[in-house]
Amino acid sequence: MKLLNFVLEGKPRLGLLVPGGVVDVSAVLPELCSTDQLILRGEAGLAAVKRLGEESHPLLNEEDICYAPAVLSPQLVLCVGLNYKAHVEEAVQLQQSLPAAPVWFNKFASSLVGHRQQVPLCPVARQHDAEAELVAVIGRAGWNIKKQDAHAHLYGYTLGNDLSARDLQFRSSQWLIGKALPGFGPLGPVLVPKEDIDEAALDISGRINGELRQHGRAQDMLFDVDNLIADASQFFHLQPGDLIFTGTPEGVIMGRKPPLEQNWLKVGDVVTVESSQIGVLSNTMVSY
């Protein structure tokens, strides 16, 4: 099942991507106008949407819809740095040894944009980079969750791009201003419930202007999703719809050989994040 948010006549709608197009779930179930509301309804909500997918309903052309972020209003947008060994090795200016615990930072809901939406490059930054990531979506509230219970709090997965302004990120020891800029958290195109994901085979790739730059697997993470949920819940009260950007594999621009000036993202560049089980998230960089 592939769930999505889209905008119609200025209002958010919940959609279900099926072969041939998109079912406008909100047209049939008006109480469900986004994935946020669906997540709150748990298994009953999923069962209702699944039934719609098995019925005959008018379909919208997927190419014509205006995607919104796969989750609209998370309370927390948590991100993990240095969660793939090879990325740690390429990012020597960050850390030269593997982290003993997840490295947390955050974005804001204002950072989120949907599939096919434009992203304005920051006018005071010069070193824009992209990071393809799997994003875990919380389905059940929790505080101080044990690792063995963490999977029960996971709703599903989507894709994210942890766009980064490196010159701002390293202006101090705090990464925030280089990570949480408006539009620097593309999210989508769809949200896939965990029951429909083969986590053992979950993959992630990143491309810039069609060129493959990154590829990894969830199994390559230093801290898997259950570990991340359990660890984050020691510090934050997780709520349904909260997001965890789980880290990026090697291949970011920052890790390329100098000189890097011609490699940083520029206006017109198209960045895509891909997973065989989730889809393709694509965004174009534009001027501010």
| Distances from the Cα of 161 to the Cα of 66, 96, 143, 231, 276, angstroms | 18, 24, 27, 22, 16
| pLDDT attached to residue 257 | 85
Residues 269, 253: Cα–Cα separation, whole Å: 13
Q: Quick one: pLDDT at residue 163?
A: 98
C-beta separation of 251 from 182 below 8 A: no
Cα–Cα distances (Å) from 106 to 8, 38, 75, 241, in that order, read 30, 24, 11, 15
Rounded distance, CA 17 to CA 115, Å? Answer: 14
Tell me, what's the pLDDT at 258? 85
Q: What percent of the chain has pLDDT over 70?
A: 98
What is the rounded CA–CA span in Å between residue 208 and residue 265? Answer: 9
* pLDDT at 95 (0 to 100): 57
Residue 163 CB partners (closer than 8 Å, separation 6+): 119, 128, 129, 130, 131, 181, 183, 184, 185, 186, 265, 271
pTM value > 0.75? yes
Question: What is the reported pLDDT for 112?
Answer: 98
**Domains of the chain and any CATH numbers:** 2-67 (no CATH), 77-286 (3.90.850.10)
Can you give the pLDDT at residue 91?
Answer: 81
- What tokens were used for 277? 């089980």
Instruction: Give the per-residue pLDDT at 150.
Output: 98
pLDDT-flagged residues of the chain (< 70):
92-96
